[in-house]
């Protein structure tokens, strides 16, 4: 027995609506998940998706404190970010960034910068001119070393460099007075390197994977020789 035509006409829109509703849940959850990475945010913090949305909010008299530019295939930061002088939190996950602009230190209120899943080969030097940063995450990139001048970032509390190819760990990490967490998961490290870091940073929470049996030149230095040569 064939179902009446009107049943199909009413059922199809309902199924489409149900599918769209189900799809919206994981997308929202994904956005919330990446924002949860940011430490110590106010409970009432409003995130703005993109520069245009933030501009509209600012034109309506809102104070723009947080912008999410994740998953935008960005190769460079939009110049429009410079207008948000009160910005505290900036998410740039999953883009195609290789460097950062010289004007970034002008954003003197920025506290948290998340750069996971980009294409950085070297630690962005411009960040060394941002002593007010409290949280920096450059996970899942191609960083080969931590700069000797990392201690210029005196405000750092949370430094996440997981999932890179780090091969040097400067003693100047010990000169970051407020550092609470150093995340080095999924970087190949020897037992000696891990022990040196534990001795250097006894009060810091160190997140490290199991040491490897590989033989590297250990000790604290700036950048290692380029392994790709």
**Where do the domains of the chain lie?**
49-207
CA–CA separation, 44 vs 61, rounded Å? 17
What is the pLDDT confidence band of residue 18, given thresholds at 50, 70 and 90?
Answer: very low
Point out which residues pair with 89 in neighbouring strands.
Answer: 66, 112
Structure tokens at 39: 């430490």
- Of 4-18, 40-54, 66-80, which range is least confident? 4-18
Quote the pLDDT of residue 213.
78
- Looking at CATH, the fold of the domain delimited by 49-207 is given as 3.80.10
Predicted pLDDT of residue 214: 72
* Residue 83 to residues 77, 103, 155, Cα–Cα distance (Å): 13, 11, 23
Q: pTM score, two decimals?
A: 0.81
Mean pLDDT, rounded, for 69-83:
97
Arithmetic mean of pLDDT, 88-92: 98
Q: Give the containing element (helix H, strand E) for 56.
A: helix 51-59
User: Region 210-224: what's the mean pLDDT?
Assistant: 61
CA distance 160 to 39: 12
């Amino acid at each position: 027995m064939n179902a009446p035509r009107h049943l199909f006409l009413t059922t199809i829109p309902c199924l489409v609506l149900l599918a769209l509703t189900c799809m919206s849940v994981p997308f929202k959850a994904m956005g919330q998940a990446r924002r949860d990475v940011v430490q110590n945010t106010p409970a009432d913090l409003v995130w703005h998706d993109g520069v245009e949305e933030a501009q509209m909010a600012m034109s309506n008299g809102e104070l723009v404190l947080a912008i999410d530019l994740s998953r935008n295939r960005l190769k460079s930061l939009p110049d429009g970010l410079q207008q948000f002088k009160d910005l505290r939190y900036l998410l740039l996950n999953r883009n195609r960034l290789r460097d950062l602009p010289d004007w970034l230190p002008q954003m003197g209120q920025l506290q948290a910068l998340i750069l996971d899943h980009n294409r950085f080969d070297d630690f962005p030097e411009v960040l060394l001119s941002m002593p007010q940063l409290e949280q920096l995450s450059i996970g899942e990139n191609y960083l080969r070393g931590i700069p000797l001048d990392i201690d210029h970032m005196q405000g750092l509390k949370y430094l996440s460099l997981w999932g890179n190819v780090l091969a040097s760990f400067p003693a100047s990490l010990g000169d970051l007075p407020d550092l609470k967490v150093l995340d080095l998961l999924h970087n190949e490290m020897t037992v000696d390197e891990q022990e040196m870091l534990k001795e250097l940073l006894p009060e810091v929470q160190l997140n490290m994977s199991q040491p490897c049996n590989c033989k590297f030149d250990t000790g604290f230095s700036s950048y290692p020789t380029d392994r790709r040569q």
